Amino acid sequence: MNNSAIIATSERPEWPDVRVNGVALDPQAIAREMQYHPAENRDDAVYLAAQALVIQTLLEQRASALGLNVECHEGETEHDALVRCLLEREVQIPLADEDSLQRFYQANQARYQTAPLVAARHILLAAAPDDEIERSRLGEAAAEIIQQLKANPDRFADLAKRHSGCPSKEQGGALGQISKGQTVPEFERQLLRLEEGLCERPLESRYGLHIVFVDQRIDGRQLPFEMVRDAISEELDGRVWQKAVVQYLETLIGEADIKGIQLRAADSPLVQ
């Protein structure tokens, strides 16, 4: 993020002089807002906080101009209620119809399946994630172990006890039954695609190289449209709503007199 282009001041004071339709942002408000916008450096945090406050000010000014009467729902702050009421009034979106929902389901059926279940054993040849030399060496060792297992699969438990860096070596390398979300993502993605039997290449993860034998695989089942219809509807409507909010904020920004900061509606926390 290039803040020299974002905060439009020739000199860099402690707090930028940002004004929205003549109303200056309070430096103390920027300081308080920074806690909600962690960043790599102070300048980026100041920009993100100022951006959020500019958007907040624009929405408050618009709501005031419309004379909105705001009623808070349970657990809702006054500002959140104001934003909700304003967007409900100003941002209208077409809801996805049944044909659109069906087309999306048919085109993305793989997303709407239960996760497969795999019972597997492994031998972990441990290595640090950034140790490329050790990982290369272990790749050769893994190839040798795999050749031994291809010749004699019954040696898996013995080789696990001898070579594995995982506590599961005491149980012959058994991992039990694994489904989605039960192990680290990079290992899971590879493991759940395997067929039954010995995998003839090692699987890599942050922990090292894994020699894997799948004892049993139960494929996931396709979820019926009726079960996922509401989730699809929420996703498609959410996409349209997000685009509409960006366009609405761009209109507010374009019509406002904003000094001291450059904004893009798509970067607004409201949209994120």
Domains and CATH numbers, the chain: 3-95+229-267 (no CATH), 117-218 (3.10.50.40)
**How do residues 206-250 score in pLDDT, each as one tens digit?**
999 999 999 999 999 999 999 999 999 999 999 999 999 999 999
Q: What is the largest CA-CA distance in the chain?
A: 80
Q: Per-residue pLDDT averaged across 72-81, rounded?
A: 88
**How do residues 180-202 score in pLDDT, each as one tens digit?**
999 999 999 999 999 999 999 99
- Res 13: pLDDT: 55
- Res 16: pLDDT: 86
- Give the whole-angstrom CA distance, residue 195 versus residue 98: 37
> Which ranges constitute the DSSP H helices of 14-77?
27-33, 42-66
- Give the whole-angstrom CA distance, residue 154 versus residue 144: 16
- Res 270: pLDDT: 58
- pLDDT above 50: residue 11: no
- Res 269: pLDDT: 58
Which residues are paired to 178 by β-bridges?
A: 118
- Give the whole-angstrom CA distance, residue 200 versus residue 98: 45
- Res 267: pLDDT: 61
pTM of the model: 0.62
- Res 69: pLDDT: 86
